[in-house]
Amino acid sequence: MKKFIAALSAALLLAALAGCSSDEDAIERGEELIRQMAELAGDRDYVEYAVSGIFNSSEVLEKIAEGDYDEARHIYRVTLPDMDDIDEISGARLDDLTDTVANKLYRSIPTLVERSISMRTDSSFYVTASYISRGTTYVDRSLKEPVMYFYFYRDGNPAVVNLSPGRDGAVSMAAYFLPEGEISGSGEDSLRDDLEELIYDNLDLELDLEVKELK
């Protein structure tokens, strides 16, 4: 009997691990989206019919498409602080807002960060990159706060994959390419400092980010 229960517990554990290993699963899904975006960037027809007309977009996309996105050199996970630890966002005090609005603002932080990085030198990169951005929704009950995964490649543009918790365990994931050389991929501390400064300058927000190098 003991053996049976042990086997059952093992199976139980295995099932739980296989289905829900959060980071590993997210990284793989993110990589898939990044490859799809690179493919789109290299699709001449798509660029001509769906993107054309945007200032120097074809140059930007060509450059992205030339990269090699099979394997990232570094992957970092950046976790936002709990919403209760944030006083205000974009000049609005969270306490003065309804829960719906406070939540909406809180969940928009990763998008705002991604946008700020893309627009650091000029806004055209952001516009172009958003034409090939890809996203998905799936189930991950373990996700509590919004998370950003940063991917850096030896040869290619860096990318960010934002993951945001929804309801009943549903999560939404959105991937974007970033311009080269705008954020540091050379270590946890430098990425954290870089992002915190960017958030302070652009969003007028003092955040303590948790940065972990996963690869």
Find the part of the chain contacting other proteins (CB under 8 A) among 78-86, 110-118, 149-157, 169-177.
Answer: 169-177
Q: Does 100 bind other proteins (CB under 8 A)?
A: yes
**Backbone φ, ψ for residue 156 (5° rounding):** 145, 170
**Backbone φ, ψ for residue 45 (5° rounding):** -65, -45
Q: Does 93 bind other proteins (CB under 8 A)?
A: yes
Q: Does 3 bind other proteins (CB under 8 A)?
A: no
How many other β-carbons are positioned within 10 Å of the β-carbon of residue 93?
Answer: 10
Q: Does 56 bind other proteins (CB under 8 A)?
A: no
DSSP one-letter code for 161 = E
Q: Taking a C-beta distance cutoff of 8 angstroms, is the pair 70, 183 a contact? A: no
Q: Does 80 bind other proteins (CB under 8 A)?
A: no
| x/- track of binding to other proteins for residues 126-155 (CB under 8 A) | ----------xxxx-x--------------
**Backbone φ, ψ for residue 68 (5° rounding):** -115, 110
User: How far is 114 from 76, CA to CA, in rounded Å?
Assistant: 14
Residues that bind other proteins (CB under 8 A): 1, 4-5, 8, 11-12, 15-16, 19-20, 45, 49-50, 90-93, 96-98, 100-101, 104-105, 136-139, 141, 164-172
